[in-house]
Amino acid sequence: MAGARVQKNKSHKTRFSSKSTRQSHKTSRTDKGRISKPERNALQGARAARIQHNKAVLIELGVDCLVREQKRAAVLKEKRALTGSASPPRVIVLFGLSASVKLERLGKELSSLLSPDGAGTTSVAVASADYRSRTTVLEAPHGDLLACMEMAKVADLIAFVASANPLSEDDASSPYIDSFGSQCLSVFRAIGLPSTVVLIRDLPVEPKKKNEMKKICISSLESEFPEDAKFYTADTKDELHKFMWLFKEQRLTSPLWRNQRPYVMAQEVDLKTDDDNPGKCTLLLSGYLRAHTLSVNQLVHVSGAGDFQLCKIDVLKDPCPLRARKEQNLMDSDELHDDQVIRSLVPDLSKQEPLLVENIPDPLAGEQTWPTEAEMAEADELNKEKSHKKKRLPRGTSEYQAAWIVDDIIEEDSESGEDEDDGMVLDENNVSGNKGAYNSEFDEDEASLNLRDFDGETEADTMMTDGENLTKEQLEEEIRKIKDAHAEDEEFPDEVDTPLDVPARKRFGKYRGVKSFRTSSWDPKESLPPEYSRIFAFNNFRRTQKHVLAKAVEMEHGSEGESAFCGSYVRLHVKDVPVVVASKICFLAKTSPIIASGLLQHESKMSVLHFSIKKHDTYEPPIKSKESLIFHVGFRQFVARPIFSSDNINSDKHKMERFLHAGCFSIASIYAPISFPPLPLVALKSGQGLDMVPAVAAVGSLRSVDPDRIILKKIILTGYPQRVSKLKATVRYMFHNPEDVRWFKPIEVWTKCGRRGRVKESVGTHGVMKCIFNGVVQQHDTVCMSLYKRVYPKWPEQQFPNDA
């Protein structure tokens, strides 16, 4: 039958598909291996043929095999560099999540495991022949925030140690983490966590209870750590042996910012006085060079002390070689410490980076020069254009007097013809549009409603007599009562009171009106403070950063006569360090690691840095703008007085914030040495009282380096309607004399209920004014005027934390 389906049954499953396979299980073990496996040479040839075939297929598909081989070789080189004898010792930081964890006991157990003869101690590199690796174990002191932060910056692996015994604290976020552990954990996240493991201690001996307690502890802690963090039990020697063996094979990760600069964690700190330069000395820091090659011509930053030049780098023999026997014979033959120097690097004065911190301004740079012929011709044309404009002079004014009157004042007013001096002007976009824009808007309202002239309202004039006879104390009390009735400080935090004894045009003389905060122009080079003559700026910061990083890569392949290579044991001679600062560094070296990091080009120069910052959850006191804070930016530490501002994406102007608000990000702008992002930020506030323990105030990251970023401080002057007639209102208590009203007359006014308007004229002698709005004004409404001025951060009195 055409189109009929042919039935196909499933084949029967059998154990042996043929007679030969039926007998194969009876073959001897040696014969089976000889029959089933080809010769070794044949196997290698087949593998090589398969690799060549795969390469041919990839070439046909358009895949570059050379790039693939280069990536594979780079990964293999990186793995060998991390685990070979030329790599610096790996740093393990033991951090107790609670005060009940006994880190000293765990540190001794790890040291005895790495060095069975007992020669190794914590905080010093130990070479282990059993694990074929070199390791430095650091114990983070519980309660010392600064020491824990410095250890986390250099850690290749942070081993968080948790006790299986729950805490009794009721306010702890986790039953195994106390408040200090939780604070440090959040700071470590802000800095950038390297590879992370969690060691669980104090588990019961019985296997069943041990597994149950382990599961409970892991389920409680796993949300606090990264997803790739692994948990290990660490009570017995076998468990520690398993952890160390896996650690030796593990490929560790570190934050990006740490891999961009060379650094040395000092194992020995000493100072050498300089007789020729009293008050200064040479600081000697010995340790392994990590991350990158360090040139003797580079500048270095010593944590908490500042930026300095190097006078010499000594490359020493490795005090902790991986192959101890071969190197020990050479070490025994050297009796003097100076004989351990393999080579010394001396800076080249023509190539050495200068220690330039501040710009030296030229006092004659702002001198007036003689105008050119083109400038004089342009001025003549401008004067001719102004001479054709119609001018209306006050009565009794001669031509000689008219020549000295500003043209903006005596130009003919198309609407009111007033001759008052309007001193305050708006931004460039609104100077010319001050009359036309307002008049066109409000003339339509007056024409449609056919309102009578505002000057005819005698009721408002009679009301002025109520405030003219009040004393200063009575006037202040009247204003206070009205402000209490209109209490909306949280909604309008920028409101300020106009002083009674100082004219507003003097008190707010630096402020100006802005028609549109987003679109109005503001010249970033206008009226700069004296501190701006001491800083440096870039024409194109991104391009400069790219050029500097490319130069650092070229330096990586520099000559041996200028650079010390990564993994070598070096002694840095840091010159011109104040003796007081060096003494503090030597004292701090007992409890905290001292880090000397190489600086990229331009990173010693002062500029304006902007950070994206957020208030820390554990810090409750308010953080005010221009308050002194200690900034930890990567390896660097410095003191700064930031101002906070909002981050407006669609505007080149940003509003200043008086306080750093909790729960949201702001921009902190400071005067500080230039740094190239990405870099983390941890801001500390110095402690108050006897303990003087610093607290974590805020965390964030470096955003940009830009002195031209415009930050505007906003204030709102408020007045209150005294007499309302539809679109018109008589407003009092915003100003206290008619000269102030005329000065601020060009600026737009608005109400809290959404009306916008302008000042028409002054009434009386106590600062009362008449205003016209674009809608009906309510009697209970508040009239506001917004003023802006550009603000700058404060120059720090003390640049570094350990300065004398």
- Cα–Cα distance for residue pair 625/610, rounded to 1 Å: 14
- Cα–Cα distance for residue pair 263/254, rounded to 1 Å: 14
- Cα–Cα distance for residue pair 233/146, rounded to 1 Å: 28
How far is residue 665 CA from its own chain's centroid? 11
Q: In terms of Cα–Cα distance, which of 583, 486, 528, 552 is closest to 802? A: 583
How high is the pLDDT of residue 556?
A: 79
Average pLDDT over residues 529-548: 91
Cβ neighbours, 10 Å, residue 172? 16
- Cα–Cα distance for residue pair 399/724, rounded to 1 Å: 43
* SS3 label, residue 633: strand
* Assigned token pair, 803: 């300065």
- Cα–Cα distance for residue pair 140/159, rounded to 1 Å: 10
* Assigned token pair, 24: 């194969």
Run of H or E residues at 400: helix 399-402
Check if the beta carbon of residue 613 is closer than 8 Å to that of residue 671. Answer: no
Run of H or E residues at 563: strand 563-564
How high is the pLDDT of residue 376?
A: 74
Give 771's strand partners.
Answer: 729, 759
- Cα–Cα distance for residue pair 174/182, rounded to 1 Å: 9
Tell me the helices (H) and strands (E) count for the chain, helix number first: 22, 32
Phi, psi of 396 (to 5 degrees): 80, 10
C-alpha to C-alpha distances, 758 to 192, 513, 762, 779, nearest whole angstrom:
53, 12, 12, 17
Query: Is 730 exposed, middle or buried (CB count within 10 Å of its CB: 0-12, 13-18, 19+)?
Result: buried
Average pLDDT over residues 342-369: 80
Check if the beta carbon of residue 367 is closer than 8 Å to that of residue 388. Answer: no
How high is the pLDDT of residue 334?
A: 44
pLDDT tens for each residue of 325-339 = 544 444 444 443 445
pLDDT tens for each residue of 89-129 = 999 999 999 988 988 889 888 888 887 665 555 567 888 87
* Assigned token pair, 338: 């100076």
Bond from prior residue into 673 cis (ω within 30 degrees of 0): no
Cβ neighbours, 10 Å, residue 708? 11
**For the chain, how far is it from start to end, CA to CA, in angstroms?**
107
What is the average pLDDT value for the chain, to the nearest integer? 80
Give 699's strand partners.
Answer: 614, 682
CA angle 301, 306, 309 (to 5 degrees): 60
Pairing of strands 495-496, 710-725: parallel
Check if the beta carbon of residue 427 is closer than 8 Å to that of residue 746. Answer: no
Question: What does pTM read for this prediction?
Answer: 0.75
Average pLDDT over residues 27-41: 52
Whether the pLDDT of residue 45 is over 60: the answer is yes
How high is the pLDDT of residue 468?
A: 54
- Cα–Cα distance for residue pair 447/426, rounded to 1 Å: 27
pLDDT tens for each residue of 661-696 = 888 999 999 999 999 999 999 999 987 654 577 899
CA angle 637, 641, 647 (to 5 degrees): 100
- As a whole-number percent, the residues of the chain with pLDDT over 90 amount to 42
C-alpha to C-alpha distances, 323 to 84, 86, 245, 319, 434, nearest whole angstrom:
11, 11, 18, 11, 83
* Assigned token pair, 90: 């790996």
C-alpha to C-alpha distances, 492 to 315, 590, 623, 712, 778, nearest whole angstrom:
63, 52, 19, 16, 19
